[in-house]
Structure 1
Amino acid sequence: MAVEPIMEEMAGVCVDSNGSAIGMPQLCVDWMPNQIVWLLITLLVIFFILSRIALPRIASVLAERQGTITNDLSAAEELKRQARDAEAAYEKALADARAEAQAIAQKTRDDIKAQLDAAIAEADARIADKTAESERALAEIRASSLENVEIVARDTAEAIVAALGQSADQAMISDAVANRMKG
């Protein structure tokens, strides 16, 4: 068994006579250089795998995510600006519509006032015509009533004189009625 002395010699103090480890093999000082070499090899392999494969993929995902975020933010700013512009246009259109409605209402009020003024002027003219016509009719009635009063007064005076048993001529009765009507 020539192999056993080599194992014992290689194992050093970290292995007992049965070939099993004494304590934790990671803490055996005799095996530390070997563990450090394998640790460095493993770390280098992990570093190369991470730097050549995993980290570029992660970096591309992060860059893509950052680009998406930047694009979304710029799109949001653009939409926000468009919303402000649309709101301003809406407010302007609303103000214009209100002003136009006010103008239409004012024009309608002015038209109605003009029509009302024309109707009032026409009614005033008709009333003035009717008043003038009524005054002429009243003047004619007054004139004819004075004539009728004079005729009735002459007839009454003639009847009174005849009732008293006297006779009077027409000229005298007319003069007496005319003098009495003058006052």
Structure 2
Amino acid sequence: MAQPTQATTEHAPASGHGGGFPPFKAETYGSQLIWLGLCFVVLYVMVAKLALPRMASILADRRARIDGDLAEAVRLKGEADAAVATYEKALADARNRAHTIASETRERLARESEAHRKSVEADLARQLTEAEKTIAAGKTAAMTNVRGIAVDAAGAIVAQLVGKTPSQAAAAAAVDHVLKR
């Protein structure tokens, strides 16, 4: 025969806590508020007495370091500006000295060049004078020879044309008469 089966459910033994989420239990709510307040006060005191003074000292150190760095930067900027001014003054002085040296050198070279030019011109004038004297002497000698050649040529031409040779004196007189015109 069939026996009726009965379903039984067994519950697991409950732990030491009662059922439900403890923060939502009304019977523990008051003590939880007290512990929350107590922990908040302890944490607040720890933060106020330990953490905040350390943070304030760190911020003060940073501020002092930043102010010191800014003062140092201002001092170094002043030194840099002074160095730049000194450099620019030295550069301007060097440019002025270079300009003065260049002007003096240019003037000295111009004087030397002028003296050399005058020397060369004097030498050329002397050579030109000597050349003119040589040419004049050569011209005089040539003219002397030309007169003799002209007398001889006139005598030969007359002899060919007329068939009779003129006297040397007559040919010379005719050449002198033509040269004087």
TM-score of Structure 1 vs Structure 2, range by shorter chain: 0.5 to 0.7
Range with bigger deviation, 115-124 or 137-146: 137-146
Does 1:182 find its partner at 2:180? yes
- Aligned-pair RMSD on alpha carbons? 4.1
Q: Match for 1:48 among 42, 45, 50?
A: 45
**% identical equivalent positions:** 33
2:66 — aligned with what? 69
Structure 1, unmatched stretches of 5+, are: 1-17
Counterpart Cα distance in 1 of 2:167 and 2:38: 176
Task: Report the CA distance shift for 1:151/1:47 in structure 2 as closer, same or farther (over 3 A).
Answer: same
1:132 — aligned with what? 129
Counterpart Cα distance in 1 of 2:147 and 2:92: 80
Structure having the higher helix fraction is 1
Moved over 6 A (4+): 151-154, 164-168, 172-177
Counterpart Cα distance in 2 of 1:101 and 1:61: 58
Task: Report the CA distance shift for 1:175/1:20 in structure 2 as closer, same or farther (over 3 A).
Answer: closer
Structure 2, unmatched stretches of 5+, are: 1-14, 157-163
2:119 — aligned with what? 122
1:1-183 residue pairs with structure 2 within 5 A? 20-87=17-84, 89-91=86-88, 93-94=90-91, 96-98=93-95, 100-147=97-144, 179=177, 181-183=179-181
Question: Could you tell me which amino acid in structure 1 is paired with residue 45 of structure 2?
Answer: F
Range with bigger deviation, 20-29 or 125-134: 20-29
Task: Report the CA distance shift for 1:41/1:30 in structure 2 as closer, same or farther (over 3 A).
Answer: same
Question: Could you tell me which amino acid in structure 2 is paired with residue 65 of structure 1?
Answer: R
Cα drift, residue 55 of structure 1: 1.5
Q: TM-score, normalised by structure 2?
A: 0.58
Q: TM-score, normalised by structure 1?
A: 0.57
